[in-house]
Structure 1
């Protein structure tokens, strides 16, 4: 007797779901856009935004502050969203995310998503006085490609010094980068502002995402003929910095050595 095999036809499997990050909504054009890369900055981001917007509201140029949440595990994003709704005044605060780790990645995403004539970044700890923006804008208006705060050029000072370990590491790092970024005393101070035309061209070529990002960015600016102005500042070290000397310091040295070989 012949046995018939029953064929079971299964319905086709659903196509795998593709997850995409929603694009950053275009922001209206202003004269100056300030990028603040933030990683677990919930405790101090309120003070940073209040001090910054209070200063900006007194200036003749239009401006915006853009906080880039670099994968924070605390309430950084919630705090920024609340302040953007509650704070009065003519200086808007925007929040965008950056899933790729590293200060360089956060700064790159923030700057390239904007359209302002001038743009730049400073650290959430505000180690450099916000009033330095006035000097930076003057130089940018006169044609500089970049204006950077410096802790080591003539006229600078320290309100509070770093610990000895970080100071020694900084000296070694400056010696290593001297041949890559010419006539610049301090590549790592977290306050840098740019002409949009110069910075966009340099940024799209940058590959470094960590703390050595500043070196590559300034190097590429100089290779394109951009003029970099150093501004002396009274700088204050904050012990709660997210920079970790051993891990981040070693990674930064490795990145710069790789740039030398390239």
Structure 2
């Protein structure tokens, strides 16, 4: 007969496993019950138009329309009076050099309601005219000319299945330098977040959060049509959707510089993103969230 201590150890292990299983089931049930339907791309009346150079209202295009430009750039912005002008000067200066036709460089879509960063990017993507769509952050932390690196990364993925491909800017090559400049606590948070991304959602992409991403029009349509998360973790769901759809993804090293003024609060923002990662995984696994069918653009 096994010693009493061994029996107790086995009993505690079984009890612990049962509690863990019960907790997982409970969390999955909560994730399923609290899951929202995909946020509809409802445009308020003021979001259906933009003002042209003469101050006249002009209807915004749809992602379902044929492309009329080579490249569209989507820049989400909220209270960015200081950083956005610097970023726009750099971007417009670069685009001016490579633009061969057309004069309407900037269209401002003013959102009636704060939709979060993911919701703002989604609105911009669905109002784009380009064959390729670039996401870029308003802080200008990434050198805009590195879009050429993303284009090369995109071309390196050919042949594109159903004309879909994504190139992600990456700061992973700067990780050692960033660790040296961070506190131990922030470094721990960073490693914990990266582990959760790898364990729960996206594998093969070391830096999911860099805001510099280039998508073909078809890839943007398929991924953003299924996007649910509207906060900071939307990048992770975007790439999770892309991997489920087997859209090829290239990760490309880009030049990046820390710019003051970030709205992310390290602990609370990362805690929120960690919760979002768990819910993304559970809601797709339980069927609470599903991928939008092909051909649904808006």
TM-score (norm 1): 0.75
Moved over 4 A (4+): 60-63, 155-162
Could you say if the C-alpha distance between residues 251 and 61 of structure 1 is closer, same or farther in structure 2, counting changes exceeding 3 Å? farther
> More deviation in 133-142 or 176-185?
133-142
| Shift of residue 188, structure 1, vs aligned partner | 0.6
- Structure having the higher strand fraction is 1
SS at match of 2:108: strand
Distance in 2, Cα, partners of 1:187 & 1:136: 15
Aligned twin of 1:55: 94
Distance in 1, Cα, partners of 2:239 & 2:280: 13
Distance in 2, Cα, partners of 1:157 & 1:191: 20
The root-mean-square deviation of aligned C-alpha atoms, in Å, is 2.6
Q: Does 1:119 align with 2:153?
A: no
Aligned twin of 2:60: 26
| Shift of residue 238, structure 1, vs aligned partner | 1.9
Q: How many residues align?
A: 217
SS at match of 1:31: strand
Could you say if the C-alpha distance between residues 34 and 200 of structure 1 is closer, same or farther in structure 2, counting changes exceeding 3 Å? same
Aligned twin of 2:146: 132
Could you say if the C-alpha distance between residues 128 and 61 of structure 1 is closer, same or farther in structure 2, counting changes exceeding 3 Å? farther
Query: Cα deviations across residues 96-119 of structure 1 (Å, max 9, x unaligned)?
Result: 023233111111110011131100
Q: Does structure 1 conserve the Cα–Cα contact (< 8 Å) formed by 2:71 and 2:129?
A: no
- Structure having the higher helix fraction is 2
Unaligned segments of structure 1, at least 5 residues = 1-18, 64-89
Could you say if the C-alpha distance between residues 162 and 41 of structure 1 is closer, same or farther in structure 2, counting changes exceeding 3 Å? farther
Aligned twin of 1:254: 275
| Shift of residue 237, structure 1, vs aligned partner | 1.6
Q: Does 1:167 align with 2:200?
A: no
Q: Does structure 2 conserve the Cα–Cα contact (< 8 Å) formed by 1:181 and 1:219?
A: yes
Structure with more relative contact order (C-alpha pairs < 8 Å, separation 6 or more):
2
